[in-house]
Chains A and B, each alone.
Chain A
């Protein structure tokens, strides 16, 4: 029997406030596609950084091909044949594809040979890549292909992929799996980090499940169900929501023929976007990031006041050209995608952050508008208690909260304002499963209370779970809407590539 390609033995890594990995062991055979499954914060990334040499373990060892190896930095990992595709791409935007790949290889290659080998590798794996395009002109999927080709050109024995499908359409995921299976067939081992159960069951032959820094199971995912994997991952089964039956009411938010050129050269122009959002329904907008979501959200929230007159209206009143504060006064609240910096000010206390969008509920009556510290703190404490936010209290700084807890706080702050219309971007991005379920439950309850809600997300599962109708945004255009119960992942996936016929049912 041959030695495993990679063996991790009893690795422990402690940080001052948390044990990131506690006695973690796993073993990957040559040519095996091995999943590492776990929620955010389960310790997956730390483990990968240890294997890739970016972080040193406190205890334990890593064996490559049966040899104990002290990997001190990424170069040494690469020399051992370990290559990694990062979740947040490590590409340089202003230089070309070939130059990016060149930078990831050692010095002995000339740019010309790299260009040829890039084209050749891309053909071999059926990946479409133009070596001379500058990276900033590429879509997210294309950028990932650059990363993968760069990794492939180092002829890896072990390829690590960190949440590779979070930015891909279902069709692109399918293509990626074909590539990975082809690669595994050549004997390369693949370590596939993900929290998506279906993907792991489709692709991987072994799965190590982590929770709270510990390994909670090592299973063959093809023989497991989503429920059994989920139990290992979060210790519970995912909650089910009752199907939504009541019908939608009057139009709350209407967007008509919204077109807007972009001032940012790397941004996306919006083309002729129209949709309606009714009281008591949740409408989802799916799409791969960078297809106009940010631009559309900026128009809806009022951050971008240059929208043409009449294009955005709230309960029949034209809102284009009005700023976020006036829109809030009309009952439109907004949960932005970036928690720190847009949703909350990192260095300010939760109490002060409450003030950002809830000032009208707290601040003393005009004309002076003094801040009432006690009332502010009380309101923040209310939100903390109601949404079970883990925080040091109203005086804790926003940046001291974990992503999930800060998101609960921000969502709670907006929900507490009893909005008539709520726009939420990526409601559960980077939030652990328990908190995500809680946030979704709160959103559904708010809808049942008669709020009109727009959810913009890249997570299709989430949209299918909570939305009544779905739109897809692609290249700055919006698809017609489709009732969620009539939609399939395949169809939405096609739409995400911009392929929809205008005559589709509305």
Chain B
């Protein structure tokens, strides 16, 4: 029982990176822009946050710097695709490759560095509950932030005028422009929000999840987060579900590998990807649901007055 509780705890921990990045990309894509540079932004944010903590010792400053770096890279991407109308997919791929190379270059001197492990923060009272305390309430604060973020984004998207405008821009930018909304500015802000959350996710990786810097340590999580938003049909709770599912199966297969199960480890390493895509594809296969939730202008350039 105790080991199961620890597995749940590890699941939440592993899923948080994907949840935060996926939620950011969701907002980003709801405005109609695909940023394939998630992996690159996460890597740059991871090394920036790690270096900040090495020098300052303040983890919160590390998260802030990570978010800032993510937002800045996203802003550069945004200006390119929104104002200069470069191709979103090619520009995003370039950002992903640039981020990988640049973070490796900057990070050379930090490979041997160590930072203090960030302990879990027990929530008073709740942490003492049997089972649930260990499973849910002894986590790093960012784990709770991820969950709160999902609900905050739901409230914003579906309960506020700002969220309605954002969704409208993603569905029909020409109509939004005709009604007088600043489509490009809204898109840039959404892209920067997505970049900032990717940055926080990258920082979580290098500060909390594996508190050290290794070249390419994001290890494809940026790509998974991108796939997650699509398979989750751009719904926040499904992103959360997908992220924890991925985290859970990852942890489970580690557990099985350590138990010496007689299955090739390559197969086990595949399972998180398969399970996540399978489950999300199954719950989201209703075509009406996809039509209603998919931002109709996703990936398409917008020329005001054109």
Contact = CB atoms under 8 A, between A and B. Distances in A.
Interface string A67-82: 0000001110010000
Interface in B228-284: none
Interface of A: 54-55, 73-75, 78, 86, 89-95, 99, 102-104, 107, 111, 134, 136, 263-266
Given A102-B164, A265-B291, A92 B171 contact: yes
B111 to A, nearest CB: 48
B164 A263 contact: no
A75 B164 contact: no
B118 to A, nearest CB: 41
B138 interface: no
Given A54-B305, A74-B180, A90 B292 contact: no
B171 A94 contact: yes
Given A92-B171, A95-B164, A95-B168, A104 B292 contact: no
26 contacts: A54-B305, A55-B305, A74-B179, A75-B180, A86-B178, A90-B172, A90-B174, A90-B175, A90-B178, A91-B172, A91-B175, A92-B167, A92-B172, A92-B176, A93-B296, A94-B167, A94-B292, A95-B164, A99-B164, A103-B164, A103-B165, A103-B181, A104-B179, A134-B292, A264-B287, A265-B287
A75 B181 CA distance: 9
Nearest to A107: B161
Interface in B173-229: 174-176, 178-181
A96 B171 CA distance: 13
Question: Most chain-B CB neighbours within 10 Å: which of A93, A94, A265?
Answer: A94
B175 A92 contact: yes
B292 A102 contact: no
Contacts of B293: 94
Interface residues of B, number: 21
Contacts of B171: 92-95
Contacts of B287: 263-265
Nearest to A150: B179
A90 B164 contact: no
A218 B165 CA distance: 42
B178 A136 contact: no
B112 interface: no
A205 to B, nearest CB: 29
Contacts of B3: none
Contacts of B168: 92, 95, 103
B56 interface: no
A285 B167 CA distance: 38
Interface in B89-111: none
A80 to B, nearest CB: 13
Contacts of A265: 287-288, 291
Contacts of A104: 179
Contacts of A264: 287
Interface in B13-44: none
A264 B181 CA distance: 31
B180 A78 contact: yes
A384 to B, nearest CB: 29
Question: Most chain-A CB neighbours within 10 Å: which of B165, B172, B175?
Answer: B175
A469 B74 CA distance: 60
Contacts of B176: 92, 103
B73 to A, nearest CB: 30
A73 B180 contact: yes
Contacts of A93: 171-172, 296
B167 A95 contact: yes
A102 B161 contact: yes
B179 A103 contact: yes
A262 to B, nearest CB: 10
A265 B168 CA distance: 20
Nearest to A91: B175
Nearest to A78: B180
A135 to B, nearest CB: 10
B158 to A, nearest CB: 10
The 3 closest A-B pairs by CB, nearest first: A90-B175, A265-B288, A75-B180
A89 B181 CA distance: 16
Given A90-B172, A136-B292, A265-B291, A74 B178 contact: yes
B175 A266 contact: no
Contacts of A74: 178-180
Nearest to B294: A94
A93 B292 CA distance: 8
Nearest to A104: B179
A266 B296 CA distance: 14
Contacts of A89: 175
Nearest to A106: B180
A308 B180 CA distance: 48
A74 B178 CA distance: 7
A46 B178 CA distance: 15
Contacts of B161: 102, 107, 111
Nearest to B175: A90
Contacts of B291: 94, 136, 265-266
Nearest to B179: A104
Interface in B140-186: 161, 164-165, 167-168, 171-172, 174-176, 178-181
A123 to B, nearest CB: 25
A86 B175 CA distance: 10
Contacts of B167: 92, 94-95
Contacts of B165: 103
Nearest to B292: A94
A107 B165 CA distance: 11
Contacts of A263: 287
A263 B168 CA distance: 25
Contacts of A102: 161, 164
Nearest to A110: B161
B223 to A, nearest CB: 27
Contacts of A86: 178
A91 B174 CA distance: 10
Nearest to A54: B305
A266 B175 CA distance: 20
A305 B172 CA distance: 32
B127 to A, nearest CB: 40
B193 to A, nearest CB: 20
Given A74-B179, A90-B179, A95-B171, 12 more contacts: A54-B305, A89-B175, A92-B172, A93-B296, A94-B292, A102-B164, A103-B165, A103-B179, A134-B292, A264-B287, A265-B288, A265-B291
